[in-house]
Chain A
Amino acid sequence: MVYLDYSATTPVDERVIESYAKACRDFVGNPNSLHKIGVEARLVIEASTRQIADLLGVKSSEIIYTSGASESNNTAIKGICLKYQNRGKRIITTELEHSSVIAPLNYLTKQGFDVDFVKLDDKGRVDLDDLERLMGDDVVLVTISSVNSEVGIKQPMKEISQIVRKYKKCFLHSDMTQSIGKEKVDLSLVDLASLSGQKFFGMKGIGALIKKENIVIEPLIHGGKSTTIYRSGTPMLPLIVSLAKAIRLAYDDFAEKQNHIEKIHNHLINELKQLDVDINSNEYSINHIVNFSLRGIKSETMLHALEEDEVYISTQTACSTGDYSLAVYAVTKDEKRSASSMRVSISYLTTLEEIDLFIDSLSKNIKKLGELK
């Protein structure tokens, strides 16, 4: 099998599974219980949280555990807007956001909020002049993903942060699902950031919202105190332990992993350039993601043809019931390319041989499906 869909999800690292299993076996108490095994469980969570906080450069009190990025994004966006709606009811975002950002924004428009979309430049990056123009005292939240999941465009978060910071009553949230664990991030640039363990070889079902300590939000889930008042529920100790392990492993030997990914990325790009495809990712895309478009072949047809050779990539779509990609359109302004895009996403586990197997299958199927046109 050639798995090249690491941005959709990653296989769980065996060491993460082991830490999860060990935590399940060794710590049976509810961390909120006052007896000895409850206290032991709480201490384990506190130690794991400290570890995560140190690795991400934040405080332990700034970590809210969630079920994943969708919950983190919903908690951040609804939590801020509903709490601070007296400050203003305008929100700024981009067309490159994940559905778990767009859907809560849609919900908020029904509660009287107004959403503005900042323009993107011809490379898919936020037009900073337009952001300046859109900002105002009535803007309560700016939410912009650090890296787009389809085309891999990395946004200039430092410059965005500098603009938003001029407005003291406005908060900056970033969906960092495609950044954390894949690149070094500076969380001091934002007020809130979302992450998901399954994107960096962690377990599915655990993520976090990083929220600056002094910010109060309206919780989505009301109940007991848990590890924080902002997300009730019995603390998911084994998942928290596994998340700490996954984050630590993600940043172990980081420079070597990055070098390897760059080498794989460059090889992939060089090989794709030899084929009848258009590459949509550009110099601002992270090396982990390469998006390209087929010429005259439906991407879903190609996806299933590749599947026959046990090669797995994705047709990532947004604002579409089929193959059309708004993210690709935002970057290329090309209808045809937007209707036939595919995404290859790699990791430090990807080998040159796997890329060659993918290219062989892609090349073969372009010829085969092209003849059927």
Chain B
Amino acid sequence: MKVIKITAVWCSACLIMNKRWKEIEKDYDVETISYDLDFDEDEVKEYEVGEKLPVFIFLDGDKEIGRLIGEKSLEEIKKYIEELN
């Protein structure tokens, strides 16, 4: 599954989630494309990021099938991915 990860360098929740996401990448077959909210403005524009970071957008091909927003526990992320599968 392809996942667009949108974070910012100044965001503590992003820092926390980066670490958890590395665990996810070990256990699941995910291809992560990382964008920085400030440095990759053009790429991020099309994803309509709301008020809260980080944002994980799950894609089936090019179609968005789910979105995780903000800080989530490792268990919550796993549960969400398994429900999508």
Interface residues of chain A, those whose CB is within 8 Å of chain B, are 93, 95, 97, 99-100, 102-103, 105-107, 109, 114-115, 117, 318-324, 326, 339
- Alpha-carbon separation in the docked complex, A103 to B19 (Å): 15
- Alpha-carbon separation in the docked complex, A117 to B15 (Å): 9
Is B13 a contact partner of A103 (Cβ separation < 8 A)? Answer: no
- Alpha-carbon separation in the docked complex, A114 to B18 (Å): 11
Residue from B16, B18, B51 within 8 A of A320 (CB atoms): B51
Closest to A116 in B: B19
Instruction: List, in ascending order, chain A residues with CB within 8 A of B9's CB.
Output: 102-103, 106-107
Closest to B69 in A: A324
Instruction: List, in ascending order, chain B residues with CB within 8 A of A107's CB.
Output: 9
B19 → chain A closest CB, angstroms: 7
Closest to B53 in A: A319
Interface size on B, as a range, is 10 to 19
- Alpha-carbon separation in the docked complex, A160 to B59 (Å): 44
Instruction: List, in ascending order, chain B residues with CB within 8 A of A117's CB.
Output: 12, 15-16
Interface residues of chain B, those whose CB is within 8 Å of chain A, are 8-16, 18-19, 37, 49-53, 70-71
Instruction: List, in ascending order, chain A residues with CB within 8 A of B51's CB.
Output: 320-324, 339
- Alpha-carbon separation in the docked complex, A117 to B19 (Å): 11
- Alpha-carbon separation in the docked complex, A339 to B13 (Å): 15
- Alpha-carbon separation in the docked complex, A320 to B6 (Å): 12
Instruction: List, in ascending order, chain B residues with CB within 8 A of A323's CB.
Output: 51
A367 → chain B closest CB, angstroms: 25
The 8 tightest CB contacts between A and B, nearest first, are A99-B10, A322-B51, A319-B11, A324-B51, A103-B9, A319-B13, A106-B9, A324-B52
A118 → chain B closest CB, angstroms: 12
Instruction: List, in ascending order, chain B residues with CB within 8 A of A114's CB.
Output: 19
Residue from B11, B19, B37, B70 within 8 A of A102 (CB atoms): B11
Greatest chain A CB density within 10 A among B8, B10, B70, B71 is at B10
Is A97 a contact partner of B52 (Cβ separation < 8 A)? Answer: no
Q: With A105-B15, A115-B15 as known contacts, state yes or no: A320 contacts B10, CB within 8 Å.
A: no
List 16 extra interface pairs beyond A117-B15, A321-B51, A322-B50, CB under 8 A.
Answer: A97-B12, A99-B11, A103-B9, A103-B10, A106-B9, A106-B14, A106-B18, A115-B15, A115-B19, A319-B8, A319-B13, A319-B14, A321-B37, A321-B53, A326-B11, A326-B13
- Alpha-carbon separation in the docked complex, A107 to B49 (Å): 23
Closest to B37 in A: A321
- Alpha-carbon separation in the docked complex, A133 to B53 (Å): 28
